[in-house]
Each structure stands twice: as structure tokens, then as C-alpha cells.
């Protein structure tokens, strides 16, 4: 059970790759799917490794990513 997960607003993604670089767990990759603007959208290639640290979301210039994490209670 991964500790976290992320949701992409694909139409806002510009395929810049900063999230992929920022992820400490190598969860993300380009999906090969182009959005309406023609960008190769990032996605979770290894969802089980996600720890919900939000490093990807913090570096995303387009606020594409929402991050969820296991509640500790």
C-alpha cells in the first residue's frame, strides 16, 4: 500500500519534466499520451513507490498535481 498518490490535471501539463526529476522515488515518467495542447503528459509510472512527499507538486510550474497521503490517525 503506497503511502501517497498524485492526481494530474492533464490538460494543464506542459511536459516540462521537472516533476519527474524532482521525485525522490522515481515514481513519475512521461506517459507518451499527448494532451490537447500537444504536450507529453507526465504520469505515475510506478504508483506503488509514491510516498506523498509532494516534491513533484512543489516544483510543477503549472499546479498540475494534487497530492494525497495516508492519514496517520
Cα–chain-centroid distance for residue 67? 8
What is the C-alpha to C-alpha distance for residues 67 and 50, in angstroms, rounded to an integer? 10
Which is nearest to 9 in space by CA: 57, 48, 52? 57
Query: CB of residue 15 vs another protein: minimum separation in angstroms?
Result: 6
**Residues from 5 through 64 that contact another protein (CB under 8 A):** 5, 7, 12, 14-18, 21-22, 39, 44, 47-48, 50, 52, 54-55, 57-63
Contact residues for another protein, defined by CB under 8 A: 1-2, 4-5, 7, 12, 14-18, 21-22, 39, 44, 47-48, 50, 52, 54-55, 57-63, 65-71
Amino acid at each position: 500500500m503506497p503511502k501517497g498518490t498524485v492526481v494530474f490535471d492533464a490538460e494543464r501539463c506542459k511536459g516540462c519534466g521537472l516533476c519527474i526529476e524532482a521525485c525522490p522515488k522515481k515514481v513519475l515518467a512521461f506517459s507518451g499520451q499527448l494532451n490537447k495542447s500537444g504536450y507529453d503528459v507526465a504520469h505515475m509510472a510506478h504508483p506503488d513507490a509514491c510516498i506523498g512527499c509532494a516534491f513533484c507538486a512543489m516544483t510543477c510550474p503549472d499546479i498540475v498535481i494534487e497530492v494525497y497521503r495516508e492519514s496517520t490517525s
